[in-house]
A = this chain, B = another copy of it.
Amino acid sequence: MTEKNIKELVDKYIQLSFSVTKKAESLIKEQIGSDLTSDQHYTLRYIYQAESCNSSELAEVFDVKKSAITAIINRMWEKGLIQRTRDEDDRRIVYLTLTDKGNELYLKAEQRIHKLVESLISQFDQSEISQFIETYEKLNDILIHSKDKQMEE
């Protein structure tokens, strides 16, 4: 592969990455509706899948400071979507769990997102989309590894 080809490939990837991310985010926002912001939905999803978690964990996953998590959790707590429970053994830790309302709101939005993504995916061959996701997964691993390597420095 020539230098020029590599540069073009990289340019194209940077361009596509920006464009796809923007448009996907925009479509997802429409599925979520006005009850939740994107970040709030992502937060609901993480807590839903983890069943229970704490601020530090969320801060690491979302790659923001803990104070940012406190702020977002506060807003969702005020809306009655999230509960806080202190650990009895280590009273520093605050467990975050979804309320019934939070659960319901998450599932409603997630179903719509699921339908959206399914309709997008259905426009590809099965082999093409499988190959794509496989590479995407590999990229994800490489990105995780890149972050870890930076931590060591």
Please give the residue numbers on chain A whose beta carbons come within 8 Å of chain B beta carbons, in ascending order.
Answer: 1, 6-7, 9-14, 16-24, 26-27, 30, 42, 45, 61-63, 113-114, 117-118, 120-121, 123-124, 126, 128-133, 135-140, 142-144, 146-147, 150
Contacts and interface: CB of A to CB of B under 8 A. Distances in A.
Nearest to A129: B9
A118 B63 contact: no
A131 B131 contact: yes
Number of copies: 2
B21 A21 contact: yes
A12 to B, nearest CB: 6
Contacts of A120: 139, 142-143, 146
Dominant SS among interface residues on chain A:
helix
Given A26-B63, A27-B143, A121 B9 contact: yes
